[in-house]
């Protein structure tokens, strides 16, 4: 049985949630391995919208085991809110497990995320302000509060030590207001009590599922170009959304993975700051943003929008070892005369086909486009490749040719069934 990774192959929000949900129907275990509630995955089932941030998308299937792996950072307040919201929608969290090694996102991390972004002035990263970066910083510095401490006997000691240390930074470095630890302890003790039953060593569960030949789904969050190493640094997140991150963050080795599916939109979007070669600043950009509903699930920010970038696609195929591509959200391109695909960059007069390691070089890269015929038909009810207009079929085949990787599925609408195999 497969160990399948489904990950974002652009800058996030490619529609991973929908595909993870589809494969979760057959999966025995779904595991998140990085990031935190900076992720926002929308899954639409029978017209009902489920907005998941931290909880794996397999939660919508009662038989599926859902694991938050050791590499994930967990905001106790936020995850409980998510559990409660799902309960109101009739979804049980009985089969949810959180690894004891997960680091907790605590009030000082939220404060420091906001303060450090503000201190960067106009040069901010545009984070989701969910405390992700500061929590991973504490993890690297080896001073973080892990779940086993949070729900265990060290709760008060660990929280007091961390708060004291961080107040020195909040007050001393940023001139902010110190956090009142007594109020935090009172509030967070209730969260610790509620979360205790979910906390365990999930690496054993994931390994056992792999060993028993079960279908394990590694649920990606964010996207390859937001990877701390392989993304457009420093405009990235603080974790590893690439395929390799799934092993580190779930606590199983790479032999557990049999295939890696990369989700792409048929165009490109990004939220937050940083370079974006094919970004459109004209009415075509507005058209795609509105047609695709490109407004952030987590922050509500309008997403920056541009044409499909095959230089990026080839890069993400390489750094993730993708075995298959999915082209999602084709329907929003309806009504455009021409569809453009960036096949290379013009870098100071030279044609380059590799994505530069230094993001600053991207500022000097101008996209070189190939143009393809657009389509006017409503494709949201198409369920097979043959039903699609010829120009859409051609666009997909051209993407396959330009990127050098097979396309196995397409998405033509937000609902679970608005997909097709090809
Ligand atoms: P994720 O973070 O990768 O899971 O993606 P998001 O949920 O943040 O963003 C994708 C958005 O597009 C959501 O609002 C989805 O409901 C929606 N969506 C997903 N697939 C399609 C599609 O094929 N067509 C359209 N029009 N919308 C889609
Ligand atoms: P999903 O899983 C899109 C972006 C933020 C910002 C940068 C750093 O829904 O695809 P952070 O708060 O992580 O420190 O912010 O990363 N970002 C995302 N963009 N989709 C996401 O997740 C993202 N998670 C973080 O906008 O540019
Ligand atoms: Mg999202």
DSSP string across 129-189: SSSHHHHHHHHHHT---BHHHHTSTTHHHHHHHHHHHHHHHHHHTT--PPP-HHHHHHHHH
pLDDT (0 to 100) of residue 255: 96
* 13 is a catalytic site residue: yes
Is the pLDDT confidence value at 223 over 80?
A: yes
Tell whether ligand 2 has an atom less than 6 A from the beta carbon of residue 130.
yes
pLDDT (0 to 100) of residue 310: 98
Please name the fold of domain 103-195.
Answer: Adenylosuccinate Synthetase, subunit A; domain 2 (1.10.300)
For the chain, give every residue range classified as CATH 1.10.300.10.
103-195
Question: What is the position in ligand 2's atom list of the atom closest to the CA of 299?
Answer: 26
Structure tokens, 64? 């599926």
Q: Is 127 helix (H, G, I), strand (E, B) or coil?
A: coil
Residue range 167-189: average pLDDT? 98
Share of the chain above pLDDT 90, in %: 94
Q: Is 339 helix (H, G, I), strand (E, B) or coil?
A: strand
For the chain, give every residue range classified as CATH 3.90.170.10.
264-421
Q: Where are the alpha helices (DSSP H) in 253-309?
A: 283-291
**Distance (Å, rounded) from C-alpha 397 to C-alpha 407?**
8
Q: Is 237 exposed, middle or buried (0-12, 13-18, 19+ CB in 10 A)?
A: buried
Question: What is the position in ligand 1's atom list of the atom closest to the CA of 51?
Answer: 7
Is the pLDDT confidence value at 46 over 90?
A: no
pLDDT (0 to 100) of residue 22: 95
Is the pLDDT confidence value at 124 over 80?
A: yes
Tell whether ligand 2 has an atom less than 6 A from the beta carbon of residue 241.
no
Please name the fold of domain 3-99+200-256.
Answer: Adenylosuccinate Synthetase; Chain A, domain 1 (3.40.440)
Closest CA relative to residue 103, chosen from 128, 125, 71, 78:
71
Q: What is the number of other CB atoms lying within 10 angstroms of the CB of residue 177? A: 10
* Cis amide linkage into residue 234, ω under 30° from 0: yes
Is the pLDDT confidence value at 386 over 90?
A: yes
pTM score over 0.85: yes
**Residues at CB less than 6 angstroms from ligand 1:** 8, 12-18, 40-42, 44, 292-293, 297, 328-329, 331-332, 411-414, 418
The least confident of 166-170, 263-267, 269-273, 374-378 is: 269-273
Q: Are 326 and 407 in contact (CB under 8 A)?
A: yes
Is the pLDDT confidence value at 59 over 90?
A: yes
pLDDT (0 to 100) of residue 45: 86
pLDDT per residue over 294-327, tens digit each?
998 777 889 999 999 999 999 999 999 999 999 9
Q: Which ligand is nearest to the CA of 301?
A: 2
Ligand 2 centroid to Cα of residue 9, in Å, is 13
Q: Are 18 and 414 in contact (CB under 8 A)?
A: yes
Tell whether ligand 2 has an atom less than 6 A from the beta carbon of residue 13.
yes
Q: What are phi and psi of 388, to 5 degrees?
A: -75, 150
Ligand 1 centroid to Cα of residue 332, in Å, is 11
Share of the chain above pLDDT 70, in %: 100
Is domain 264-421 in CATH 3.90.170.10, yes or no? yes
Is the pLDDT confidence value at 26 over 80?
A: yes
Is the pLDDT confidence value at 111 over 90?
A: yes
* 282 is a catalytic site residue: no
Chain CA centroid to CA 154, Å: 32
- Work out the mean pLDDT of the chain and round it to a whole number: 96
Is the pLDDT confidence value at 121 over 80?
A: yes
For the chain, give every residue range classified as CATH 3.40.440.10.
3-99+200-256
pLDDT per residue over 86-104, tens digit each?
999 999 999 999 999 999 9
**Which one is catalytic: 21, 28, 41, 113?**
41
């Amino acid at each position: 049985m497969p160990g399948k990774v489904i990950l974002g192959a652009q800058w996030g929000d490619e529609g991973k949630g929908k595909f993870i949900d589809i494969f979760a129907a057959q999966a025995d275990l779904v595991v998140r391995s990085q990031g935190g509630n900076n992720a926002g995955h929308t899954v639409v089932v029978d017209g009902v919208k489920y907005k998941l941030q931290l909880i794996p998308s397999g939660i919508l299937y009662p038989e599926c085991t859902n694991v938050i792996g050791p590499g994930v950072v967990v905001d106790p307040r936020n995850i409980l809110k998510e559990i409660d919201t799902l309960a109101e929608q009739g979804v049980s969290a009985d089969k949810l497990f959180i690894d004891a090694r997960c680091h907790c996102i605590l009030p000082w991390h939220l404060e420091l995320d906001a303060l450090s972004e503000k201190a960067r002035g106009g040069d901010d990263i545009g984070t989701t302000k969910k405390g992700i970066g500061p929590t991973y910083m504490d993890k690297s510095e080896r001073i973080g509060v892990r779940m086993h401490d949070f729900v265990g006997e060290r709760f008060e000691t660990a929280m007091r030590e961390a708060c004291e240390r961080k107040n020195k930074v909040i007050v001393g470095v940023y001139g902010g207001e110190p956090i009142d630890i007594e109020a935090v302890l009172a509030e967070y003790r209730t969260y610790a009590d509620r979360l205790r039953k979910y906390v365990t060593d999930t690496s054993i569960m994931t390994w056992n599922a792999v060993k028993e030949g079960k279908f394990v789904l590694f649920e990606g969050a964010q996207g390859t170009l937001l990877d701390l190493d392989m993304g457009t640094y420093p405009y990235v997140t603080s974790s590893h959304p690439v395929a390799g991150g799934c092993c580190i963050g779930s606590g199983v080795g790479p032999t557990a993975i049999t295939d890696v599916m990369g989700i792409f939109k048929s165009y490109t979007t990004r939220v937050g700051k940083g370079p974006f070669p094919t970004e459109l600043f004209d009415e075509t950009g507005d058209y795609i943003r509105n047609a695709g509903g490109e407004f952030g699930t987590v922050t509500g920010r309008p997403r920056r929008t541009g044409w499909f970038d095959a230089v990026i696609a080839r890069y993400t195929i390489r750094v993730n070892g993708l075995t298959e591509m999915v082209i999602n959200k084709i329907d929003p391109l309806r009504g455009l005369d021409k569809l453009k695909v960036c096949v290379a960059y013009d870098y100071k007069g030279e044609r380059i086909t590799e994505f530069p390691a230094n993001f600053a070089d991207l500022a000097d890269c101008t996209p070189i486009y190939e143009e393809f015929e657009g389509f006017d038909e409503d494709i949201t009810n198409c369920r097979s490749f043959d039903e699609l207009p010829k120009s859409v079929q051609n666009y997909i085949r051209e993407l396959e040719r330009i990127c050098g990787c097979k396309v196995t599925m397409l998405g033509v609408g937000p609902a679970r069934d608005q997909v097709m195999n090809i």
